[in-house]
Amino acid sequence: MKKELTVSAIRNGTVIDHLPSNITFKVVEILDISGIESIISVATNLASKKMGKKGIIKIGNKSLTKDEVDKIALIAPDATVNIIKDYEVREKIKVAIPKIIMRIIKCSNPNCITNNEKAATKFSVLMKNPLKVKCSYCERIMEEEDIVIL
């Protein structure tokens, strides 16, 4: 039996599912999708068996880059990214925090070279939950609350 869709169906695109309700809009923010012409539906506080309440984001005609998937992992480690082709779920990606985080976060040390010269940031992940990372340049260790997503 075909399940009923809470928000409109898309032909091709991406569905980001299993977002904690309270960070749904934060995910919208970090994805920088405001310029997209296709359908974007954002729903939050949906009933979910697994999570109690969840959020979901559907974006027509867009596939996510690796960096975008990694950014989602940083703030919503239990999210699922569904790739929709011809109305069907073609692929399901379980997001995961990588061992090395490239580019997507900013070093909290103002005296770090990455904040003073155009250089891609790079962090090694010391701990995933709670997230704790170490800048590969200045060696500063950042805890979850210091982490700023670029």
Partner 1 sequence: MDFKNRDIISINEFSKQELLYILKIAGLMEKKPNPNLLNDKILATLFYEPSTRTRLSFTSSMEQLGGKVIGFASPGVSSVKKGETLWDTMKMVDCYADVTAIRHPLEGSARLAAEASSKPVINAGDGANQHPTQTMLDLFTIQKVKGKLENLHIGLLGDLKYGRTVHSLTVALSHFNPTFYFIAPEALQMPKNYLDELREEGIPFSTEQDLLKVSKKLDVLYVTRIQKERFPDPVEYEKYKGVYKLDMGLLPHIKKELKIMHPLPRVDEIDTSIDETRHAVYFEQAANGIPVRKALLALVLGKIK
Ligand X SMILES: Nc1ncnc2c1ncn2[C@@H]1O[C@H](COP(=O)(O)OP(=O)(O)OP(=O)(O)O)[C@@H](O)[C@H]1O
- Give me the residues that bind Zn ion (CB under 5 A), please: 107, 109, 112, 135, 137-138, 140
**CB-nearer residue toward ligand X: 16 or 142:** 16
CB of 112 to partner 1, least distance (A): 5
**CB-nearer residue toward partner 1: 41 or 109:** 109
Nearest-CA neighbor of 84 among 65, 66, 58? 58
**CB-nearer residue toward ligand X: 95 or 142:** 95
End-to-end CA distance of the chain: give it in Å, rounded. 42
Pairing label, strands 141-143, 131-135:
antiparallel
Residue type, 149: I
Q: Enter the tokens of residue 63.
A: 């596939």
CB of 29 to ligand X, least distance (A): 21
Nearest-CA neighbor of 59 among 5, 10, 95, 21? 10
Q: Any contact of residue 56 with ligand X (CB under 6 A)? A: yes
Q: Any contact of residue 24 with ligand X (CB under 6 A)? A: no
